[in-house]
């Protein structure tokens, strides 16, 4: 059974492959595995106002191109002091805020987003910097089946000084009070236990089992 994971985020793809590796009857494929090259149309797939709409938009698009069962997610960080921002704009937070050039990508864009986040929280005390990672994943089968949705959240506090070299995105600036370190300082096992990045809760142990059960059901339709 083949499952296409529709993301071009290498860090996210690595984590999802690791989590779903315990299901040998499911072959996890990336976009490059099925020969889907980048197209500028992809930039408009996340133009909606909710994580759910963005995830479904991506899943439908790549399922249509590949003809495969496809799961796609939209993830982001919502900061309470910023009225839930950056939210669905997490990947382009610095770009939309005008503090970074549009040619940035990868680690350079992560760095710019983090700088913009810290600057936006200037003057806010630590106790007021509560945040949550949110992930909404959509699973799309054939045209006769309804899409399935999975949601996960992970809590933290935004800190000015980054710590840790693991993870990606905002991880070095998101502090887990329970463990006393940032998500970038956690081991993969701790991340999964804590629900790191929210998508680990979405794709993690029990969620992965639910996902695979539903994938099998869709595959039989």
What are the structural domain ranges in the chain? Answer: 2-219
Top-level class of domain 2-219:
alpha beta
pLDDT tens, residue by residue, 120-177: 999 999 999 999 988 888 988 866 678 888 888 888 999 999 999 887 889 999 999 8
Tell me what pLDDT residue 153 has.
83
**Active-site residue set:** 74
Q: Is 162 exposed, middle or buried (0-12, 13-18, 19+ CB in 10 A)?
A: middle
The reported pTM is 0.77
Using CA atoms, how far residue 76 sits from 85, 116, 137, 145, in Å, is: 9, 15, 12, 27
Q: Does the pLDDT at position 24 exceed 70?
A: yes
């Amino acid at each position: 059974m083949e499952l296409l994971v529709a993301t071009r985020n290498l860090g996210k793809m690595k984590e999802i492959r690791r989590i779903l590796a315990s299901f040998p009857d499911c072959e996890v494929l990336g976009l490059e595995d099925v020969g889907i090259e980048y197209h500028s149309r992809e930039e408009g797939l996340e133009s909606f106002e909710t994580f759910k709409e963005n995830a479904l938009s991506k899943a439908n698009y790549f399922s249509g191109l590949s003809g495969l069962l496809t799961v796609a997610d939209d993830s982001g960080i919502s900061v309470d002091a910023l009225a839930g921002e950056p939210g669905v704009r997490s990947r382009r937070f610095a770009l939309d805020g005008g503090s970074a050039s549009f040619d940035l990508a990868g680690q350079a864009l992560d760095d710019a987003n983090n700088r913009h986040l810290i600057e936006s929280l200037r003057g806010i005390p630590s106790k007021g910097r509560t945040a949550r990672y949110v992930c909404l994943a959509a699973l799309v089968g054939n045209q006769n089946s309804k899409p399935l949705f999975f949601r996960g959240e992970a809590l933290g506090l935004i800190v000015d000084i980054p710590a840790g070299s693991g993870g990606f995105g905002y991880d070095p600036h998101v502090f887990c009070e329970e463990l006393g370190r940032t998500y970038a300082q956690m081991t993969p096992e701790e991340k999964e236990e804590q629900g790191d990045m929210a998508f680990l809760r979405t794709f993690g142990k029990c969620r992965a089992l639910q996902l695979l059960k539903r994938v099998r059901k869709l595959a039989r339709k």
